[in-house]
Amino acid sequence: MSAHDLSNLGAGFTHEAFGSQAMFRVALEALSHPGRCMTVSHDAEVPQTGHPASAALLLALLDSDCTLWLSPSLANSDAAAWLRFHTGCQLVTQADQAMFAWVAAGDAMPALTSFSQGSDNAPDQSATCVLDLPFLDAKGSHESGASQWALKGPGIQDVNHVSVDGLAADFLAQWTANHASFPRGVDLFLASAQQLVGLPRTTSIQLSGGL
């Protein structure tokens, strides 16, 4: 990375420790209460490519021991250089080598099974994927073209409803298999520009309407 490239990168959190701690709390809340829409507030100068909420989340989660896989439009953008510079993470080209993955809206997501699944004895060694969506609403609104989900599982009192758009046609089938493989399996964060929804592998998803 040249000095010129570095000069064009945006800054990270103004106060790295405070900014990271705030994002950790958002991530923990999102995974502890699947389907709850968490608003992301931060002061990082995020890349132009990818959702700002996703960039801030990964800025907090990644460090020099982490491997990161990026979908094509992110891998060839300022997002890759920004995360590499601020976190020291190792970028990988194979999904199964990644501890974390970030998929931009409009990019195809690899099959969930292509990411590290962990093992029965070490489920924490599975991958965490951050998926940018063109539409995400945790109130389950009936946006044209969106799918309405009913979420159940730990952290959900009864059922939570989420509306999403931009996922592969077979995503729910993949997720059902991912959920069934517990304690193995990947965890997801779904992202809009300023919000995150957590989908831990313990959450079951069924269509509640829409497509």
* Bridge partners, 103 (sequence order): 131
Q: Is 194:40 a contact under the CB 8 Å cutoff?
A: yes
Q: Virtual CA dihedral for 163, 164, 169, 172, nearest 10 degrees? A: -60
The answer to whether the predicted template modeling score (pTM) of the entire model surpasses 0.85 is: yes
Q: Cβ neighbours of residue 129 under 8 Å, at least 6 residues apart?
A: 100, 101, 102, 103, 109, 112, 115, 186, 187, 188, 189
pLDDT of residue 140: 56
pLDDT of residue 142: 62
Residue 82 pLDDT > 90:
yes
End-to-end CA distance of the chain: 45
Confidence of residue 2 (pLDDT cuts 50, 70, 90): very low
Q: For 185-201, what is the mean pLDDT? A: 97
Q: Where are the alpha helices (DSSP H) in the chain?
A: 3-7, 16-32, 52-61, 72-75, 78-87, 171-180
DSSP state of 11: P
- Mapped onto helix, strand or coil, the DSSP state of residue 151 is strand
Which residue, chain included where needed, has tokens 């890349």?
47
Confidence of residue 31 (pLDDT cuts 50, 70, 90): very high
DSSP state of 108: P
Domain 3-134+181-198: give its CATH code: 3.40.50.11310
DSSP state of 95: G
Q: Cβ neighbours of residue 8 under 8 Å, at least 6 residues apart?
A: 78
pLDDT one-digit tens code per residue, 121-143: 999 999 999 999 999 987 656 66
**Rounded to the nearest 5°, which phi and psi values hold at 71?**
-70, 160
What is the percent of the chain where pLDDT is above 90?
88
Residue 178 pLDDT > 80:
yes
Q: Is 189:30 a contact under the CB 8 Å cutoff?
A: yes
4-13, 45-54, 127-136: range with lowest mean pLDDT: 4-13
pLDDT one-digit tens code per residue, 51-77: 999 999 999 999 999 999 999 999 989
